[in-house]
Structure 1
Amino acid sequence: MKQEINPKETNRAHAFEMWMKSPMPMVTLTKTFDVTHLYKASKRRNVKFNTLLCWCIGHAASKMTEFYLLPEQDTLFQYDRLAINVIVNNKEGDINSCDIPYSDNFDKFCTDYTNLTLTTSASCQSIFDEEAAIIGTSTVMATELDCIVNQYSGIFNNPFLAWGKYRKSWLRTTLPISFQFHHVQMDGGHAARFLEELQQTINTI
């Protein structure tokens, strides 16, 4: 459920006053993750690597209250659940968006991920979840990338993670991931804590 709240009654009151009118309120952090365990788990369970990573992102974010807040125009909204947005290549050679509800139950999330992305690809129609706090993701698998900085349109203030092709070496598999967030939603310390939590989730999935 989505509801408007008074920013002055939250711990983001000062941030709202400082950054809501900023012409460029987005901040981007990039961290190189050790995804060796995740890569092995995807092979062992025969599950797509990106499906596993999206679940890890949702799991790490679900532990932080900041991800349930989202500034829009001159207001602040609070949500009671999360969803992960993925970009889907459709059958006509174009792309669509697909929002996948996050669930602590990985099997349910995996089933929803598979079914919803297949539906989006076949129908060429985006699937949006207006009642969930959306965490955007984008994958550029054609090449290895050090960093991705997303455009800021002023329309979408959602947190956003992006990555390229993972890097395999003899003993480790690594992946740089860029994390963009609105400064009203969280500070750099919160973002850093999320990235650390994401690494721990990846290590223990």
Structure 2
Amino acid sequence: MKEINPHDTTRSYAFELWMKAPMPMVTFFKTLDVSRLVRFSRKKRLKFNMLMCWCIGKAATQVKEFYTLPVGDRLIQYDSIAVNTIVANKNGEVSSCDILFSDDFAKFGADYIRLTGQVAETCDNHDLTDSMVIGTSALAKFDIDGAVGMYSGIFNNPFMIWGKYRKHWFKTTLTVSFQFHHTQMDGAHAAHFLELLQKEIMELKIHDI
């Protein structure tokens, strides 16, 4: 990762406009068709949340704006993307776990299982500081319509939240919220990412996993 001059990027105007805004975060909601993920999760005995995180990372790597992030008063460029998941630890609390995204699902899946297991047992967060991290929080036991993330003024990372998926006659849906810093991307970039996420879910093949 390295610091870059915002004025040498396509985010120059956004940097000037939003870096000092009292609330620079924007949240989108989208209902996804996750029938394929649910089916594969059951057939392959894989965690649904792990499949979601992989699809999120795969979609994000196709949007160049994800590789830059405002950190403090600087704009930082990253070479890699990671996906964060919240883990229930052995003390009955929650810990944070960053998993480096790999286009190879077998590698990502193995890292996901190993690292979340490690975090659950040790209760120590696993943080990656040299990757652009997409935060996620899965409230899988609860039927919620949506959630807006908290803006701390410290972490500007994009963040996704979802609850329990909903079963219908012919498909299963999941409503997600996606929060992003307006300096990092515009609404069109965020909407494109969510479209790519749906595409990756729909095109996921059994041999991919």
What TM-score range do you get, normalising by the shorter chain? over 0.9
Give the aligned residue type for 2:67. Answer: Y
Q: How does 1:112-151 map to 2 (within 5 A)?
A: 112-151=111-150
- With the length of structure 2 as denominator, give the TM-score of the two structures: 0.96
Aligned partner of residue 71 in structure 1, secondary structure? strand
Aligned to 2:98: 99
Per-residue CA shift, 1:51-106, capped at 9, x if unaligned?
00000000000011100100012100000001001000000011110000000000
Per-residue CA shift, 1:133-165, capped at 9, x if unaligned?
000000112211111101100011000011000
- Whole-Å separation in 2 of the counterparts to 1:44 and 1:200: 21
Aligned partner of residue 188 in structure 2, secondary structure? helix
- Whole-Å separation in 1 of the counterparts to 2:186 and 2:76: 17
- Whole-Å separation in 2 of the counterparts to 1:179 and 1:99: 18
- Whole-Å separation in 2 of the counterparts to 1:90 and 1:121: 4
Aligned to 1:200: 199
Aligned to 2:207: none
Let me know the Cα RMSD of the aligned residues: 0.6
Q: How does 1:57-72 map to 2 (within 5 A)?
A: 57-72=56-71
Q: List alignment gaps of at least 5 residues for structure 2.
A: 205-209
Q: Which moves more between the two structures, 165-174 or 112-121?
A: 165-174
Q: How does 1:75-86 map to 2 (within 5 A)?
A: 75-86=74-85
Give the aligned residue type for 1:26. Answer: M
Give the aligned residue type for 2:96. Answer: S
- Whole-Å separation in 1 of the counterparts to 2:51 and 2:72: 33
Q: Runs of 4 or more off by more than 3 Å in structure 1?
A: none
Number of equivalent positions: 204
Percent identity at matched positions?
54
Aligned partner of residue 77 in structure 1, secondary structure? strand
- Whole-Å separation in 1 of the counterparts to 2:141 and 2:45: 21
